[in-house]
Every structure is written in C-alpha cells, then in structure tokens.
Amino acid sequence: MAYAIFKFRKSKGAVAATFSHNTKAEVIWTVIPVIILIVMAWPATANLIKMYDTRDADMTVKVTGYQWMWKYEYLGENVTFTSRLDRESDRVRQSGIVPTRESHPHYLLDVDNRLVLPVDTKVRFVITSDDVIHAWWVPALGWKQDAIPGFINEAWTSIEQPGVYRGQCAELCGKDHGFMPIVVEAVSKEEFKQWLAQRKPAPAAPATPAAPAEPAAPAGEAPAAPAAAEAGSAPATAASGA
C-alpha cells in the first residue's frame, strides 16, 4: 500500500483509472481457485469415504465400555475378556507414592489384558457402552470413536508395524475416568493365531452315550432272568432234591 501511494501520487501526475470491471480477470480469479479446490477435495473426499468403510474386514472386535474398564469380544472366535488398569499402577495411585518415569514408565497407561491384533489385517470395530458414554481412543490408530449406550459405532484399522500402541478413554465418564487405559499389541499373523488358540476355551468332553434299554417282555410272559441269576439258582435246586 505504501508503494502504491508513493508510485501513483497526485503530485507526479497520476490519473485514476475509470474502468468498472474486467471480464477476463474475473474469470481467471474465479475459475482457477475452483479448479484448485476440486483437485484438493477429490482425493480428500475419497479418503474420508474409505475411513468409514468397514466392509470386507478380515475380523471384527466388539468393544464395550464399562465404568471403568473395557470388554473385548473377538466375534466368531469365542474369545472374550475384560481389560482394566494394571495392578501395579492401581497400587501406586492408592498408596500415595509419587511415580517417576524410571520406576513406573507406563504409569496409568498399562492394563492387565492387552487387545492383541494381527498386522496387515483389516480389523473392524463395533463400539458401544453398557452404562455411560465413553470414548475409545488410540492416537496411533488415527481415530477416536464414542462408546454410547444402546448405540453401535463402527470404525476400522489396519496396523502395519508390530508394536504396542497406547490410548485412553477420551470422554469424561465418572470419578475413575482417568484410569481406563487402552493397550493394543500388534503381532504377526502367525503369533496372533497362536495367541487366539490359547485364549479359546477348551472343548467340552464328549458325553458318554447311555446304555440301550432292554426291550419289554410280551404280555403274559414273565421276564427272563439274567444269566448270572440262572447260574446261581442251579446249585440251590440240586440241594433241595437231595
């Protein structure tokens, strides 16, 4: 602005332009931004659609929030368990000890049972709650999903690198909201198969088949005595005859 004031000052004889519009300029500054926005929006919209597309998943995990723990169900695999704050963190927080990074590197961020998932696998999550609103959030997975009572939210992930990924409940849910950590452990597909097999309940022993019932005797006839009873009655008959 200072340059324009100096360059086109009246004392130098500058004359103001009298044009009212310029069709060519208006077309340029309208069309070019529209093209730029379309180029940016096209891949962004495609990625947003993919983010919410849970179809064609390789496996499904149901996540249920409780005050104050998580329940995980591997649907179709008969594997279910709860995950809550680990005992060491719980002991420290109730004892009044001031934890340090050296003594407790994962204070309030560790659990008793980790959610184990295979790498390079599309995992579908169905997320709900049994009491109040929670939120299942692991930052490294790239999304956060509310767990709402009576409502199912869906999300999916595919973890590329084995490792441990930590998160927390991200919705204020009561006095122990800060003690609902989430730990996801990503392992190879072979390790996951072994872990899943160990988690499955042992098959029930097959039931012993019942002995077949003896056919009923015809009407008017006494039932035949067992062979053992007949063998025992023969000496008694001989003794009475003597």
**Domain coordinates of the chain in residue numbers?**
59-199
pLDDT band at 21 (very low <50, low <70, confident <90, very high): confident
pLDDT of residue 228: 45
At residue 212, φ and ψ (nearest 5 deg) are -65, 140
pLDDT of residue 222: 55
Nearest to 63, CA basis, from 126, 114, 131, 115: 126
| Mean pLDDT to the nearest integer, 96-111 | 86
CB burial class (10 A; 0-12, 13-18, 19+) of residue 105?
Answer: exposed
pLDDT of residue 237: 41
**Strand ranges for 26-98 from DSSP E:** 59-66, 69-74, 79-83
Residue in the structure block whose two tokens are 């961020």: 109
Which tens digit of pLDDT belongs to each residue from 167-218? 999 999 999 999 999 999 999 999 999 999 999 987 766 767 766 666 665 6
pLDDT at 68 over 70: yes
Of the listed ranges 77-81, 148-152, 159-163, 199-203, the one predicted with least confidence: 199-203
Task: Report the SS3 class of residue 240.
Answer: helix
Distance CA 233, CA 239 (A): 10
100 vs 150, more confident: 150
| Mean pLDDT to the nearest integer, 26-30 | 94
Write down the pTM of the prediction.
Answer: 0.71
Q: Does domain 59-199 have CATH number 2.60.40.420?
A: yes
Rounded to the nearest angstrom, the gap between the alpha carbon of residue 158 and the centroid of all alpha carbons in its chain is 12
Average pLDDT score over the chain? 87
pLDDT of residue 4: 85
- CA-to-CA separations, 57 to 13, 90, 123, in angstroms, rounded: 74, 36, 6
